Chain A
């Protein structure tokens, strides 16, 4: 597994609690000690020709955020992206798995048509409806040195589930 830095633009260590990725102070204050103890993770897992992305966090929505960070990290280091512009994304699906694929595919689409990279995400999910905000900037080929272009989120190794320790896992393979 390849663990990824999760605090774009803040210059802190690679294994941070999920609260470092969240936007709202009030939301942070509302979380319990147990939530504080759970570390949010964005990581890659191997797939023959391509790359698996996995987000692990206290809530499903946060796991989706982490998965999107792992998607960005296929292209460049999340920490190199300046959050200059925001993009709103919405999608809906009949299952959590399809919703994850739809979400990542929407991020890929916005990256492609806007020529942008995103280093920060906030996601809310209610009744199969996802609303998100992505922060990022136009691709700077010299600074970001983008490695490879994601073509699409696949249904391979697609999983959105809650583990026995309460953490949510959201993962799938990205075709590159």
Chain B
């Protein structure tokens, strides 16, 4: 990225002043090295976001930002309905409510070493993953609507998990305001047999070891201990979310002129929050959030069954579940005034600091867990929402490392079998239905996640808590 147009606010914060049709400045978080590696498209896209109606304060890009669709991946922007603010299907993305949840096993790395291979095989057999995989649950029309309205609460009521899980999920496991009637028949049909499936691409179920603890007191509050094993599940709202994204992106793009909106990029397709289309999208998007929460809840149930076979005395308590492709209605202090805003986080995680009223009781004193995903051979991180005031970027943080090489470049450089063998030599078992898929997701195709975490920590977006390394990875 060409840094010449940016002013330096700190070692980890850069600002593009508002100019031309920009309504607010653009702010990019990251070290000079991370920014140098970012695509110029990130700057172009975050500048375009700053032009959208009703945007408040600034358009933000997280340290893991990369070229996305309209919004950069790692983009955060908030809109005020009182000022003509919009909701953007492009600003949420195709995989609505894609996110990560972590489960605590209480097991030490040594406890699983003896059964690692069998455990990996069993997880791979029991967690539907990859293109063409289907779940064991098929929902009829009534059940589909109940799931879309109830999210993880529906899943728990159906026997997938325990009520205590719901306290450790954003929104208590059920996104309010979901409107199953706003979800098309095509979207529902696409989801019919995809409940409890992982998907493909960068989605995974990983067994990880806590290899470093940076903040002992927060780690203790999260139940994390050095040398212990956690299970991370990364996936989203599957076909239903993809179809909702597809349909509303088109409808918003076509309707934009009728709403008096000039789109600098068609992919920024949006509608006023106070419009029938905007409200209908919110209803559908919230239903997709519930679909993602229910999906991760079912996958949790499947993972617990597998672990229960090997370790009957372990319950796999839920640490937390975060979504990183959403638009959420929140209150934020902006220049000393409380404002009711619609915060888009596209490849960005909500990161409430301690004592935020929307935090579950278990984390009220420390802040929200924030999960930064890696890729098979690279580490992941657990952070906690920063408690500084004023909060940064509407209490948001990064979500992963972000790719440094395209899938095409990765395929030229690696073979799937070679990646699996190399990782096996490091003690990491990778199970995937597709060798090509593994090559495209090779760890070397991703940026240095540690640099992203350090930048987020340095910028005050979130604080480091623990570092984790993969032991078993089930890839879609």
Residues of chain A at the chain B interface (Cβ within 8 Å): 2, 44, 46-51, 75, 94, 97-98, 101-102, 105, 108-109, 112-113, 115, 139, 141, 144-149, 151-156, 158, 173, 175-176
Given contacts A112-B239, A145-B435, A147-B131, contact A48 B94 (CB under 8 A): no
Contact between B246 and A153, CB atoms less than 8 A apart: yes
In the A-B complex, the 8 residue pairs with the closest CB atoms: A146-B131, A139-B132, A46-B406, A48-B67, A147-B436, A151-B242, A155-B266, A152-B246
CB pair B132–A47 under 8 Å, yes or no, is no
Residues in A with CB closer than 8 Å to B409 are 46
- Indicate if the CB atoms of A175 and B434 lie closer than 8 Å: no
Chain B residues near A (Cβ < 8 Å): 39, 41, 66-70, 73, 93-95, 130-134, 186, 189-190, 192, 199-201, 239, 242-243, 245-246, 249-250, 253-254, 265-267, 269, 402-403, 406-409, 411, 433-437, 440, 476
CB < 8 Å neighbour of A115 from B39, B68, B134, B407: B134
Q: How far is the CB of A156 from chain B (nearest CB, A)?
A: 5
Q: Which A residues lie within 8 Å of B250 (CB)?
A: 98, 101-102
Question: How far is it, in angstroms, between the C-alpha of A113 and the C-alpha of B133 when the chains are bound?
Answer: 11
Instruction: Give Cα distance in the complex from A125 to B463, angstroms.
Output: 55
Q: How far, in whole Å, are A112 and B403 apart by their CA atoms in the complex?
A: 26
Query: Which residue in B131, B199, B249, B402 is a CB contact (below 8 Å) of A75?
Result: B131
Instruction: Please tell me if the beta carbons of B67 and A113 are within 8 angstroms of each other in the complex.
Output: no
Residue of A2, A153, A155 touching B269 (CB-CB under 8 A)? A155
**Contact (Cβ within 8 A) B201 A48:** no
Min C-beta distance of A46 to chain B, whole Å: 4
**B434 to A47, Cβ gap below 8 A?**
no
Q: Which residues of A contact B403 (CB under 8 A)?
A: 48-49
Residue of B nearest to A138 (CB): B132
B190 — which chain A residues lie within 8 A by C-beta?
Answer: 109, 112-113
Residues of B within 8 A of A102 (CB): 250
In whole angstroms, what is the CA distance A113 to B95 when docked? 17
CB contact under 8 A between A151 and B94, given known A46-B406, A49-B67, A156-B69: yes
Out of A97, A149, A176, name the residue touching B407 (CB < 8 Å): A176
- A173 CA to B69 CA, complexed, in Å: 9
- Shortest C-beta distance, A122 to chain B (Å), equals 23
Most buried by A among B265, B411, B437: B437
